[in-house]
């Protein structure tokens, strides 16, 4: 089922961020949101994730099982990468699969360290694996490549291409190359998005 957003408005105090925003996010496709800072991309994502309520408008078709890479990594700092992924999986899940995914994304050798000892780029990749492995019907990715160098970005892009096939994804990005690489649909947002 496609996600249909109609007439969505949201303001924080006197700052109107979304003004009657309309969009359709097709099922099992990747849709990217682009636009200048402050145009309401993250606010829209937060509304879709259910963290904040819109002032008006309607949203239909958002699945119950959600997964996300947040703008901040939101990891449990004193736990290692495997534990951070385990957190969102059911208790019977196989640690081997988690390790396989973390190795695939270039974290081999850093799996035993608490995530607060990892670099920003490594932490970002832990957050990405967590979002990919969590059982979900929709993924929200808020600037997933933030803080990654070019080589790592290439590896992560390949990893995402392998793991996002046939999944409904809403991704915030500032980079047109990312949209093209992911063969994603694009929704361009302006200030006070309509």
Partner 1 sequence: MNDNNAKKIRMEKTAAVVFALIVWQAGAMLLDNSMLLVSPLTVIKRLFTLFFESDFLSSVSFSFIRIVSGFLLALAAGSLFAIIAGRVHIVEVMLWPFMTAIKTVPVASFIILCLIWLSSSNLSIFIGFIMVLPIVYTNMLQGIKSTDVKLLEMANLFNVSWYKRLKYIYLPQLKPYIISAGSVSIGLAWKAGTAAEVIGIPEGSIGEKLYEAKVYFSSADLLAWTLVIIFASIAFEKLFLNFLKKFFRRLERS
In the complex, the residues that contact partner 1 under the rule CB under 8 A are 49-51, 65-68, 70, 72, 74, 76-79, 83, 87-88, 114, 134
Nearer to partner 1, 60 or 78 (CB): 78
CB of 147: closest distance to partner 1 in angstroms?
Answer: 17
Q: What strand order describes the sheet that includes 30-34? A: 66-69, 138-142, 168-172, 30-34, 185-188
CB of 110: closest distance to partner 1 in angstroms?
Answer: 15
Dihedral sign, Cα of residue 91, residue 96, residue 100, residue 106: positive
CB of 65: closest distance to partner 1 in angstroms?
Answer: 8
Nearer to partner 1, 116 or 183 (CB): 116
3-state secondary structure 25-63: ECCCCEEEEECCCCCCHHHHHHHHHCCCCCCEEEEECCC
Q: What is the 8-class DSSP label of residue 193?
A: B
CB of 19: closest distance to partner 1 in angstroms?
Answer: 25
At residue 120, what are phi and psi to the nearest 5 degrees? Answer: -55, -40
Nearer to partner 1, 74 or 180 (CB): 74
Nearer to partner 1, 134 or 157 (CB): 134
Lookup: tokens for 69: 């890479």
CB of 25: closest distance to partner 1 in angstroms?
Answer: 17
Nearer to partner 1, 56 or 78 (CB): 78
Q: What strand order describes the sheet that includes 15-25? A: 15-25, 3-12, 56-60
With contact defined as beta carbons under 8 Å apart, do 67 and 19 qualify?
no
């Amino acid at each position: 089922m496609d996600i249909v957003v109609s007439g969505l408005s949201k303001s924080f105090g006197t700052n109107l961020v979304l003004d009657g925003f309309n969009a359709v996010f097709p099922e099992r496709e990747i849709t990217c949101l682009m636009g200048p800072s402050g145009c309401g991309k993250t606010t829209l994502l937060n509304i879709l994730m259910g963290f904040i309520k819109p002032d008006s408008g309607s949203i239909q078709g958002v699945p119950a099982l959600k997964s996300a890479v947040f703008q901040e990594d939101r990891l449990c700092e004193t736990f290692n990468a495997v534990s951070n992924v385990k957190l969102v999986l059911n208790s019977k899940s196989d640690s081997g699969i988690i390790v396989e995914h973390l190795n695939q994304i270039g974290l081999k050798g850093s799996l035993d360290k608490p995530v607060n000892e990892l670099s920003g780029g490594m932490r970002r990749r832990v957050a990405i694996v967590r979002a990919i492995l969590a059982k979900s019907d929709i993924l929200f990715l808020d600037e997933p490549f933030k803080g990654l160098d070019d080589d790592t970005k290439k590896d992560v892009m390949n990893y995402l291409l392998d793991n996002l096939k046939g999944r409904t994804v809403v991704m915030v990005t500032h980079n047109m190359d990312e949209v093209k690489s992911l063969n994603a649909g694009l929704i361009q947002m302006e200030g006070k998005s309509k």
